[in-house]
Structure 1
Amino acid sequence: MTIMIHSRSSEFSRDAKRRIWTLIGLGLLLVVSCFSIFIGTHTISPSVTVDAIVAFDHSNSDHLLVQHLRIPRTLLSIVVGGALGVSGVIMQALTRNPLADPGVLGVNAGATVAVVSAIAFLGIYEVAYIMWFGLLGAAIAGASVFVLAGIRKGVNPVRVVLAGAALSVVLLSLTHMITVNSHEMVFEQFRHWSVGSFQGRGYDVVIPTSMLIAVGLLIAFSLSKAFDTVSLGEDVGHALGVNPIKIWCLASIAIVSLAGAATAAAGPISFVGLTAPHIARMLCGPDHKWLMPFSLLIASILTLVADVLGRVIGHPSEISVGIMIALIGGPFFVFLVKRWKISQL
């Protein structure tokens, strides 16, 4: 009886801590979102920014900037960051590799070669159109990795990682070949996308990206219990009645929807999918029912903070979020590794 009471008390305490961290995270996300809306390369007074939100005037250029650039940019930062965080959790669970991120499936490389091809061969420069080519490239790359890994013979995380690495090298070589032999304008347009940025993204990018990511999140959260089992190994999964191949296929669709859409919309943003899941594990433990929402929240905060800092440090211009994430995420992740023992999957 004493053991049972202690167990329930411990579980209650753990859940209470998780809820407290959730509230802290949501509060922090709200604060950073406000900073994101109020701060930009073009100086707008706080009173005008508030008016743009509560009393929008179509004839006011500052109001238009807030409504059609800053707010969509903030929303896209949250959505893209969350998608990368959740897809990172999925990849680490499937491969049982704590250093895995969405790029393992070749999603980033596939999106990159598709985008540069669209710019170079079709003359498409608008992000709202480019992102669809990026998504298609990510999907094809993800499917190709499974074919190369021989998924029909059974799930082998090592084969998947090696196939993804090999395909990424080939695709990145193609990307360099196209950019080097293309017109200067192609390289310039591709450079803006490839550094990872939310600059100039409006609702025409935010809405379709959010819809695709929502589909990926629905699939991912529906598989939370399965991820707990698969992360223990293929043999354990079979013993517990889980079909690893089915889980891998569904999870891959989720990853392409999440990481593919995020990369297509904002360009390659590294480190978020790797760092956020580890921070989440330190706060909530390995249970994927909690791990995925926590990772989503943390990744959104990290991405938004990096975007805001890029605007502040680079003022009157800005530093791309992809660069800021690497500058912030690298040292921060090293600090976490030194301070806490990284949880095993």
Structure 2
Amino acid sequence: MSTATNPVGTRPTSGRVQLFRTGGLALLGVTLLGLCFLSVAVGTRSVAWSDIWAALSGQTETIAQAAVAVRIPRTIFAALVGAALGLSGTIMQGVTRNPLADPGILGVNTGAALAVVIGLAWFGMTMAHTFVWTAILGAGVTAVFVYTIGSLGRGGATPLKLALAGAATSVAFSCFTIAVILPRNDIAGGFRSWQIGGVGGATFDGIRLVLPFLLAGFVISLLSARKLNSLALGDDLAAGLGENVALARGMAALGAILLCGAATAACGPIGFVGLMVPHLCRLLVGVDHRWLLPYAAFSGAGLLILADVVGRIIARPSELAVGIVTAFIGAPFFIWIVRRQRVREL
């Protein structure tokens, strides 16, 4: 049987396995398209098939057609944000070799949110693009801070130390955020709804604002796949094989920070997507990041769209923000990971 040579750190993979992975990725793509159509068709208002097709063709003559037209950018936005969170979580787990790594658990989401709040409350930010840059800056500073704290002491940046440093940072930054917001009643209401994390109210203008940052993050992340495979072997062995460990880790982390920061600026901190998706994808394709990253992007997009649809259905005629739905799903998943797996390197 013919074999394909995998990158450093993975075993040779048979053509049958490659075909299985390719077919699985295609199936995920078809499933994602089905979820997109479900998101357009299902909501707090029931619509007829004729209204769906009319809205997809650009007509908004009736209330039902207008409702469907509003769901189209919301669906696209949810897919982009879900893919960004799934990819960023996978990269953070690969860079830190920590199965508990996630933008929320490591405090990166909270750092991005705190930066936005400080810019809004203290510096009077009003331009939309400044929110994105500020969130990315906050995410980057927080990631460096957590990794530095987790690296102190004997043993360096172990998974347990990183998780503890991230949890402590997240709690501290959440308190700082509340302290900044409390005296500002003029922005408190809008911030609370944003802090929950949701994709409602998405527009094509908002998508165009964050799209360049997301695309840059996607490209950098996917180009880091082979480097992440090398890092999985350990720093010493990766360096012995000719890999620039610091550059590889920094490049991959940059992609994750761009994705996480842009997503947080656009829709607020949405947790647990970056934790669940990588673990589920590893069950399907293993630890080869050449496959794991595309799977994570498709799975993250599908998961967030599905969570958004569930949030619209279970609270009719109102709806639950997608951040609440992912928290309900992700919290038990996090407990399961802690109970069933040893918190060690990937």
Partner residue of 1:175?
A: 177
The answer to whether the 8 A contact 2:104-2:269 is kept is no
* Alignment-mate amino acid for residue 157 of structure 1: A
* Alignment-mate amino acid for residue 182 of structure 2: V
Q: For residues 188-243 of structure 1, what are the alpha-carbon distances to aligned partners after superposition, in whole Å with 9 as ceiling and x for unaligned?
A: 21111111100111112212322211111111111111101101211111111111
Partner residue of 1:45?
A: 48
Partner residue of 2:22?
A: 19
The answer to whether the 8 A contact 2:98-2:344 is kept is no
Tell me the CA shift for residue 125 of structure 1. 8.0
Partner residue of 1:245?
A: 246
Question: SS in structure 2 opposite 1:311?
Answer: helix
* Alignment-mate amino acid for residue 117 of structure 2: V
Q: TM-score, normalised by structure 2?
A: 0.85
Q: TM-score, normalised by structure 1?
A: 0.85
Question: SS in structure 1 opposite 2:14?
Answer: helix
- Write the distance in 1 (CA, Å) between the matches of 2:14 and 2:184: 60
Question: SS in structure 2 opposite 1:157?
Answer: coil
Unaligned runs of 5+ in 2: 5-11
Unaligned runs of 5+ in 1: none
RMSD value, Cα: 3.3
Question: SS in structure 2 opposite 1:102?
Answer: coil
Moved more, 205-214 or 69-78: 205-214
- Write the distance in 1 (CA, Å) between the matches of 2:343 and 2:31: 24
- Write the distance in 2 (CA, Å) between the matches of 1:148 and 1:195: 27
Matched, 1:33 2:46: no
Partner residue of 2:201?
A: 200
- Write the distance in 2 (CA, Å) between the matches of 1:193 and 1:331: 24
Tell me the CA shift for residue 16 of structure 1. 1.9
Call closer, same or farther: CA 1:196–1:231 in 2, change over 3 Å: same
Tell me the CA shift for residue 128 of structure 1. 7.2
* Alignment-mate amino acid for residue 94 of structure 2: A
Match runs of 1:321-340 below 5 Å: 321-331=322-332
Partner residue of 1:313?
A: 314
The answer to whether the 8 A contact 2:151-2:157 is kept is no
Call closer, same or farther: CA 1:338–1:161 in 2, change over 3 Å: closer
Call closer, same or farther: CA 1:202–1:165 in 2, change over 3 Å: same
- Write the distance in 2 (CA, Å) between the matches of 1:46 and 1:139: 45
- Write the distance in 2 (CA, Å) between the matches of 1:25 and 1:75: 16
Aligned residues: 335
Match runs of 1:245-284 below 5 Å: 245-284=246-285
Call closer, same or farther: CA 1:342–1:234 in 2, change over 3 Å: closer
The answer to whether the 8 A contact 2:104-2:272 is kept is no
Call closer, same or farther: CA 1:125–1:195 in 2, change over 3 Å: farther
- Write the distance in 2 (CA, Å) between the matches of 1:146 and 1:324: 29
- Write the distance in 1 (CA, Å) between the matches of 2:215 and 2:2: 39
- Write the distance in 2 (CA, Å) between the matches of 1:131 and 1:216: 13
Identical positions, percent: 35
